[in-house]
């Protein structure tokens, strides 16, 4: 018998469970933390940052009380620095590279310092950037997630007129629909979107889907250049018996429902939840299920813990919230009948080359709800067949984010090299915008 229902916890319990995961630093805490920075000349933290933020530079400005200057240093390289301060896996990027990160010391809290610097700018709507003179170029940006927003903002700064298309009602992509609610509270994703759009020069058209309402060929005809940042909207399938049973859900869709819910307690949650997958999405849906009142939550991943896409911080977060993580097991069958009641798994063995093999040993986990969190892919029909070079279901781009189709660039999770990180997608969008601007200006001057 299934036990899926809303209101497992009181409103007060849910409010506490979905409060800010990392409360912001106070002024005194920020100054103390900033004083811990060595301000390395050839800072490894900056090298580790995908967007190349001058980390010692922005921390030095915090020390001197120049918060506006600190925010400018951050946002000029990463216009979504506020969100990245909340969701970026700093523990495996800049903070892991920090020279203070030793057995005796902890690294400088770069993420929290970045939030300390950027929050006042977004809260006060302080515009730090201005547009160059209009270039006369018209650019279409498809996808309103981190890659598309970053590209649109940089193009607007450089003087292009940008039309931004997105299939959803709200912009933000996974920042709005796909990140755990306790990581981005107080409608922060939309406040950041509003700040990005406030530079001007960006027309927004929502409810428009690539491959259905618009096409790449049409956009190429109507605009001087096109950027594609549509993400990966289709969920991978398990390909096992019982996958279509009621109670088997896509993790990304459940997270989106939770993020958009006006009353989180009204969202039904199972008593026994099994999550199949090992990435950030698996952790997010597992922890949120527990924080909504699920009695038992299990994550099951087919490879080793070291091979999981989730960081050690995320795995520890899950375990500290009462989630059990099983590794080296793959699903064989979702049990019924009529509704998911459990999952049959087979234990796997890891080879020295990173491969896995079956062992023949099986076990079963009971479940009211089974979440699939095994990755995503491009939706069928998004791109005209054969128009753009693809590899393993993703778009192939060069170092400037250019595709094989003239006048078309791409970035974010939909391209080869995308890694499901906001910070990487922002960098893709920024690099593409600079390349697009250069391409259009040289072409106009007769050098293209």
Distances in whole angstroms, Cα of residue 39 to Cα of each of 31, 46, 99? 14, 11, 10
User: Does 445 have pLDDT greater than 80?
Assistant: no
Between 280-291 and 312-320, two packed helices, what is the crossing angle to 10 degrees?
Answer: 20
Torsions phi, psi for 245 (to 5 deg): -65, 145
User: Does 448 have pLDDT greater than 60?
Assistant: no
State pLDDT tens for residues 389-435. Answer: 999 889 999 999 999 999 999 999 999 988 889 999 999 999 999 99
pLDDT of residue 447: 57
For the residues 65-69, what does the mean pLDDT come to?
Answer: 97
- Set out the domains of the chain in order of their start, with CATH numbers: 23-123 (1.10.1060.10), 138-233+378-444 (3.50.50.60), 236-375 (3.50.50.60)
How sure is the predictor about 213, in pLDDT bands with cuts at 50, 70 and 90?
very high
State pLDDT tens for residues 222-254. Answer: 999 999 999 988 788 999 999 999 999 999 999
pLDDT of residue 150: 98
Residue 49 tokens, joined = 């940052």
User: Does 1 have pLDDT greater than 70?
Assistant: no
User: Does 446 have pLDDT greater than 70?
Assistant: no
Torsions phi, psi for 69 (to 5 deg): -65, -35
pLDDT of residue 112: 98
For the residues 208-213, what does the mean pLDDT come to?
Answer: 95
DSSP for residue 372: E
State pLDDT tens for residues 174-198. Answer: 999 999 999 999 999 999 999 999 9
State pLDDT tens for residues 295-338. Answer: 999 999 999 999 999 999 999 999 999 999 999 999 999 999 99
Report the predicted TM-score, pTM, of the whole model to 2 decimal places: 0.95
Q: Are the beta carbons of 415 and 134 closer than 8 angstroms?
A: no
d(C-alpha 119, C-alpha 85), whole Å: 10
d(C-alpha 129, C-alpha 190), whole Å: 19
pLDDT of residue 234: 78
- Please write down the HEC assignment for all residues of 196-221: HHCCCCEEEEECCCECCCECHHHHHH
Mark 165-197 as b/e (b = at least 16 C-beta within 10 Å): bbbbebbbbbbbbbbbbbbbeeebbebbbebbb
User: Does 386 have pLDDT greater than 90?
Assistant: no
How sure is the predictor about 354, in pLDDT bands with cuts at 50, 70 and 90?
confident
User: Does 34 have pLDDT greater than 90?
Assistant: yes
d(C-alpha 18, C-alpha 13), whole Å: 9
For the residues 341-360, what does the mean pLDDT come to?
Answer: 95
3-state secondary structure of 415: strand
User: Does 147 have pLDDT greater than 60?
Assistant: yes
Q: Are the beta carbons of 296 and 306 closer than 8 angstroms?
A: no
For the residues 86-97, what does the mean pLDDT come to?
Answer: 95
Q: Are the beta carbons of 95 and 107 closer than 8 angstroms?
A: yes
- 234/436: higher pLDDT: 436
Q: Are the beta carbons of 123 and 67 closer than 8 angstroms?
A: no
How sure is the predictor about 387, in pLDDT bands with cuts at 50, 70 and 90?
confident
How sure is the predictor about 385, in pLDDT bands with cuts at 50, 70 and 90?
confident
Q: Which residues contact 2 (CB under 8 A, 6 or more apart)?
A: 247, 270, 339, 340, 341, 368
């Amino acid at each position: 018998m299934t036990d899926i229902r809303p209101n497992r916890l009181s409103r007060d319990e849910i409010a506490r469970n979905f409060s800010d995961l990392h409360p912001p630093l106070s002024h005194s805490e920020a100054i103390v933390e900033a004083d811990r920075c060595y301000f390395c000349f050839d800072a490894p933290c900056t090298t580790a940052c995908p967007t190349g933020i001058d980390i010692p530079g922005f921390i030095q400005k915090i020390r001197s009380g120049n918060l506006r200057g600190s925010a400018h240093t951050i946002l000029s390289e990463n216009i979504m620095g506020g969100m990245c301060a909340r969701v970026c896996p700093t523990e495996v990027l800049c903070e892991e590279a920090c020279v203070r990160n030793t057995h005796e010391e902890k690294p400088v809290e770069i993420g929290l310092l970045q939030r300390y610097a950027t929050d006042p700018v977004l809260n006060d709507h302080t515009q730090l950037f201005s547009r160059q003179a209009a270039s006369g170029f018209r650019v279409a940006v498809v996808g309103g997630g981190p890659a598309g927003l970053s590209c649109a903002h940089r193009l607007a700064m450089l003087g292009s007129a940008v039309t931004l298309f997105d299939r959803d009602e709200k912009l933000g992509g996974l920042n709005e629909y796909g990140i755990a609610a306790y990581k981005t509270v107080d409608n922060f994703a939309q406040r950041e979107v509003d700040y990005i759009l406030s530079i001007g020069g960006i027309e927004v058209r929502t409810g428009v889907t690539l491959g259905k309402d618009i096409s790449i060929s049409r956009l190429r005809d109507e605009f001087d250049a096109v950027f594609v940042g549509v993400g990966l909207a289709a969920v991978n399938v398990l390909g096992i018996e019982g996958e279509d049973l009621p109670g088997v859900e896509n993790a990304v869709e459940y997270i989106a429902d939770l993020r958009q819910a006006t009353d989180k307690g009204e969202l039904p949650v199972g008593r026994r939840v099994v999550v199949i997958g090992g990435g950030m999405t698996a952790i997010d849906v597992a922890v949120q299920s527990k924080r909504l009142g699920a009695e038992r939550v299990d994550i099951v991943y087919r490879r080793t813990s070291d091979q999981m896409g989730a960081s050690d911080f995320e795995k520890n977060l899950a375990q500290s919230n009462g989630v059990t993580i099983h590794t080296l097991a793959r699903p064989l069958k979702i049990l019924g009948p009529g509704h998911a009641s459990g999952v049959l798994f087979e234990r796997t063995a890891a080879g020295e080359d990173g491969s896995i093999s079956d062992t023949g040993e099986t076990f079963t986990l009971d479940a009211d709800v089974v979440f699939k969190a095994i990755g995503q892919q491009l939706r069928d029909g998004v791109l005209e067949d054969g128009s753009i070079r693809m590899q393993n279901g993703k778009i192939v781009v060069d170092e400037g984010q250019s595709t094989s189709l003239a006048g078309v660039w791409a970035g974010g999770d939909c391209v080869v090299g995308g890694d499901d990180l906001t910070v990487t997608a922002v960098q893709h969008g920024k690099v593409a915008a600079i390349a697009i601007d250069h391409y259009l200006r040289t072409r106009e001057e007769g050098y293209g």
